[in-house]
Amino acid sequence: MSHAARRPLLAAAVAATSLALCAPGAQAATKVSKSEKAQNTAIKKAQKSATSAGKTAKSASKDAKKALKDAASGIANAKTADDKAAAAQNGLNVLFGQVPAVLDGLTKLASGLTAAGEGLTKLGDAFAAQEYGVVKVQLGGNDVPGAILTSSDIPDDTNAATLSGTVLVPVPADVTSATPITLLAGVRSGESDGTGPDDPVASAGIVTLTTAGSPGLIIGGGNAPLPATVPITSKANAAAGGAPVYPIPFKAPRVDATPNPFSFPTDKAIDLTDPATLQDFTGAGSGPFTVANPTGQTAVATVTLTVRFNDLTASATDVTA
């Protein structure tokens, strides 16, 4: 039989078979074998497994998408952090670039502070090393209460500190014979010199000194036979290069153990009225003025003076000398 003839017969057979299978009676009459049941069960399990696998795959897909999103966020954060780190590094580079200038500035500041410290130390030394000239009047070798004067600070460049003034000298009624009025000079010093004749604290000399008295008081001495109104003065001192000043070997402390601004230790002073140091105008000699009181009552003498103090051994670099 030819292929063309077979085709209609085959189509009819397929159609008949399909009708038989679709018919209810035929389906009910068909008995399902155990192997088919097992096969159907396996198919259902496979379908469930496939469904579960699909769900799992879908969940994994979601997780993967979230992971990708987190990764992208992490990369963005990392880039931001990297940018910040780069900016910080740039800032550090700028800062490090300024370190040499800062160190140079600190070095200069340290040098300036050192110089300032040295200056303050020198200033402190200069303040502590101030020295003052002091003169006091004695009558018959005894201090006259209150008859004491103090100069300003004696310069350390050999210039003079000069003091001037007038003091009163009570002359008791029992001073009936010529009694000398002497003038002593000393220096209160915080400097290192003033330890003896080879290292005097300063020098002093009388510029002028006169003495006058109340009525009845007899004034003598001085430049006799010249009138008592002629002042006495210190003569040139060859040992001081001709300057009319004389060395004061020992210094007195700035403040005595028992402070008393109206006293001065006699053993630290020199006698400016020593005849050996006074100018002799007449060749007859010169000496301190004297007073005698024949009035029977206390009389008063006045002593008017100007005295210079010089530190002739001052150091140009050591303010304590």
pLDDT tens track for 167-210: 999 999 999 999 999 999 999 999 999 999 999 999 999 999 99
Domain annotation covers residue 31: no
Give the integer Cα–Cα distance in Å for 291 and 221.
8
Q: Is 4 exposed, middle or buried (0-12, 13-18, 19+ CB in 10 A)?
A: exposed
- Model confidence at 98, pLDDT cuts 50, 70, 90, reads confident
**Predicted local confidence at residue 24, as pLDDT:** 47
Is residue 116 located within the same domain as residue 169? no
Domain annotation covers residue 75: no
Is residue 122 located within the same domain as residue 270? no
273 contacts 183 by C-beta, under 8 angstroms: yes
Is residue 117 located within the same domain as residue 206? no
Is residue 202 located within the same domain as residue 171? yes
Percent of the chain beyond pLDDT 70?
84
Lowest mean per-residue pLDDT among 107-111, 305-309, 315-319? 315-319
Give the integer Cα–Cα distance in Å for 247 and 197.
8
pLDDT tens by residue, 1-25: 554 544 554 554 444 444 444 444 4
Is residue 165 located within the same domain as residue 114? no
Range of the domain at 179: 131-310
Domain annotation covers residue 246: yes
**Predicted local confidence at residue 11, as pLDDT:** 52
74 contacts 67 by C-beta, under 8 angstroms: no
Overall average pLDDT of the 136-165 stretch: 96
Domain annotation covers residue 321: no
Q: Which two tokens stand for residue 117?
A: 């410290």
Is residue 149 located within the same domain as residue 104? no
Domain annotation covers residue 176: yes
Total Cβ atoms within 10 A of residue 304: 14
Domain annotation covers residue 315: no
Is residue 107 located within the same domain as residue 218? no
Domain annotation covers residue 77: no
Overall average pLDDT of the 211-225 stretch: 95
**Predicted local confidence at residue 124, as pLDDT:** 52
Strand partners, 51: none
Is residue 151 located within the same domain as residue 168? yes
Is residue 118 located within the same domain as residue 244? no
What's this model's pTM, rounded to 2 decimal places? 0.63
Give the integer Cα–Cα distance in Å for 109 and 186.
45
Give the integer Cα–Cα distance in Å for 278 and 234.
4
Is residue 221 located within the same domain as residue 135? yes
Strand partners, 219: 291
Is residue 210 located within the same domain as residue 180? yes
Q: Any idea which residue has 């220096």 for tokens?
A: 187
Domain annotation covers residue 65: no
Is residue 119 located within the same domain as residue 243? no
Q: Which two tokens stand for residue 163?
A: 């003091």
